[in-house]
């Protein structure tokens, strides 16, 4: 990379850090091309991105962002994963680390809060944003559904009572 390419890369990575809410730092020692391709595919399916970047360039891109706290983690063969949904990127990285011993989650940051590997693991055990939205919607709709059922019950009982009286009078 020449200097202009490095500047463009740092600027694009800084733009990514400005727009995302979660960054995970990983170490990938000896992953094969197929394994990295599988990891990128999983990340993409979860709505996350995965990028191997030079540590010096990534550190420069982190300067002045809310993720500056992860700069000490950028030593050795590292890669960054990020997403707007914090649980999705953490869950994908932790699941891949369980499947592949050469892939390790070092830590990350959720906004300005720096997390270690155990913090990322704890975050990955939370339900995803979509699952939380579904639960919240279910909680909001549950009282209305119960109310509708209660409102229908007396009408149904009255109809059955009238039908019983009508059949008794007919007999």
How far, CA to CA in Å, does 74 sit from each of 41, 52, 91, 163? 23, 11, 21, 77
Strand ranges (DSSP E) for the chain? 22-28, 49-52, 78-83, 103-110, 113-116
Please give the full DSSP string across 119-144, using - where no structure is assigned.
HHHHHHTSPPHHHHHHHHHHHHHHHH
Could you give the CA distance from residue 26 to residue 19 in angstroms, rounded to a whole number?
A: 20
What are the phi and psi torsion angles at 107 (to 5°)? 160, -160
| DSSP β-bridge partners for residue 83 | 22
Q: What is the pLDDT of residues 77-95, one digit of tens each?
A: 899 999 888 888 999 999 9
Using alpha carbons, select from 67, 78, 69, 62 the residue that is nearest to residue 28.
Answer: 78
Question: Do residues 85 and 128 lie in contact, with contact meaning Cβ atoms separated by under 8 Å?
Answer: yes
What pLDDT does 163 receive?
82
pTM over 0.85: no
**Two tokens, residue 42:** 């999983």
pLDDT by position in tens, the chain (length 171): 788 888 998 899 888 888 888 999 999 888 899 999 999 999 999 999 999 989 999 999 988 888 888 999 999 889 999 988 888 899 999 999 999 999 999 999 988 889 999 999 998 888 777 777 888 888 887 777 776 766 676 777 767 777 887 888 776
| DSSP β-bridge partners for residue 114 | 109
């Amino acid at each position: 990379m020449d200097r202009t390419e490095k500047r463009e890369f740092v600027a694009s990575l800084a733009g990514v850090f400005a727009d995302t809410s979660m960054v995970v730092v990983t170490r990938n020692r000896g992953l094969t091309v197929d394994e990295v391709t599988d990891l990128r595919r999983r990340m993409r399916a979860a709505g996350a991105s995965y990028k191997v970047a030079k540590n010096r360039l990534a550190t420069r891109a982190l300067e002045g962002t809310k993720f500056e706290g992860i700069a000490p983690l950028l030593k050795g063969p590292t890669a960054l994963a990020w997403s707007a949904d914090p649980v999705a990127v953490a869950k994908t990285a932790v699941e891949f680390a369980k499947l592949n011993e050469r892939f390790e989650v070092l830590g990350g940051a959720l906004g300005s809060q720096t997390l270690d590997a155990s913090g990322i693991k704890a975050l990955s055990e939370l339900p995803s944003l979509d699952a939380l939205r579904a639960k919240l919607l279910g909680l909001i709709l549950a009282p209305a559904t119960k109310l509708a059922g209660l409102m229908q019950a007396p009408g149904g009982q009255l109809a059955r009572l009238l039908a019983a009286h009508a059949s008794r009078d007919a007999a």
